[in-house]
Structure 1
Amino acid sequence: MTANIVQTITPVTHDLGQFEVRRVLPGKARQMVGPFIFVDQFGPGQLDIGNGMDVRPHPHINLATVTWLFEGAIDHRDTLGTFSTIRPGTVNLMTAGRGIAHSERSPEAERAAGPSLYGMQTWLALPDGREEIDPAFDAVRDLPIVEDSGARACVIMGALWGERAAKTTHAETIYAEIALKPGGAVPLEAGAEERAVMLVGGEAQIDGVSLELHELAVLAPGQAMTLTSREGGRVMLLGGEAFASERHVWWNFVSSDPARIEQAKDDWRAGRFGTVPGDAEEFIPLPDRPKTVSYP
């Protein structure tokens, strides 16, 4: 640890054959950073021609999913009837609220060429009083860019460097992709209650302290810092307001009330989430022992 980095979290890595998925939240070391309660980084990976990513329909409650790609494409379908192809530069926000189911699959054109996959999948816990809002979906392509000769930062959610993204935030949230050229530098503002950075490519430093690839570095609150790179790197910045109340996680369900998660389990078993138009032939059954759980 350093004065500016108060915690580092090493990801749990799942090898899916042609690409890896690295999970830093939730875990035994820490459950949340701001509203972020689930953080996966996947790829880079190149799949064989004819293959693709196939995440069958599955449910969520009391959270919002945020999908951000560096490379590749994903077809999103949900029980609202939404169809959206996620590509780099577009942020997809799916608000589960009281309940939604969706699928994520490689587009057919990508399969024909051999899909590439490289990006981030995160969940935001919904704040008290808003956990059971109506489900919704939003895709935004026109995102603020802050750049100079040494760095380019895309503001995915929230307000940073004097710019605000046109994306719904249910709680105070900051989320950005920072691309550093060799010798580049970016100031990290001190405003958010909780912040963390993840190096997802190349190399970078916080006030001269090197970041480890794919680790989540939780930053000290209330301190301005500088992110730099000697040779070039890609860094994700995430965080926002600290939640005062506890959140529970079981599989794809997040809630402040454990009983609500039990109800969601029953609803999925009974088919009460509905079907996904255009992808109604299969689904992911409720697991006995999910990989994503709370760590009290």
Structure 2
Amino acid sequence: MTSLNSAPVVPGSVLGLFGLEEVDRDLYRAPPADDEPFPLYGGQVAAQALNAAGRTVPPGREPHSLHGYFLRGGVAGKPLVLRVSRDRDGRSYSARRVTAIQDGDVIFTLSASFVTPEPGASRELEPAPVVPPPDELPEAVLPRLLSIEAKLPPQPDPDVEWPTRFWARCTARLPDDPLTHACVLTYLSDISSGLMPLHHDNVATGPSLDHAVWFHRPVRLDDWVLTDLVPKTAGRGRGWYTGTVHDAGGALVASIAQEALFREQRTRPGAEGGVGG
């Protein structure tokens, strides 16, 4: 089975972001996405941190959850240093913490859990959103994402600046390793915000504060997945939303939750503070 450790690194593709250099035991250097002085995209650093954590767990264990905190702004054109802490390896579960450092400052921390897959009851209480399949929809662009194509179904709130519901898939040839697909899903998971429908006047979502993903079922990210983001609450300068990711057959494969700044905008959304969004 090919994994991120042995998959060919293709410059200009999403797999290029996962070509980590092992500096020392549990210490990695992650490459930048480009050489431009743009803010670092939060989905990139979260995916690279999950990749680093996954390289240190026993064979056969897959990601089942992650929770990250965006602490400082980063620069897209600079590499990251990723330091992994091996908190625990139990009989079925492994816990890891990752600290992402740029220019000597901690900009992001990640807690991730990995599990040896086991059989069990499979039930779902809510169906996937009813939308046209991707082959019936026009192409769309999700900016800043390498190797990702998208299709836009009708939006729950048509007037929002960014879509809250979209089909996406990776155009790069991905290996079969579950860690690869979990990292690509994480990379995709921060591209929009479920808080878009709550924007009014000059009050809008800003940088991400924290971000969580739960991986429920195996999924291939070189097949179409449907992301659906739903606002829940905003107040006291923060907003919180949840999201789901379904495969093309309608199975719930992952859930998302994120909190972000939500306040009067002095600059463009996402231009100040943390690395998210």
TM-score range, shorter chain: under 0.3
Provide the TM-score with structure 2 as the length reference.
0.27
Q: Which has the higher helix share?
A: 2
Provide the TM-score with structure 1 as the length reference.
0.26
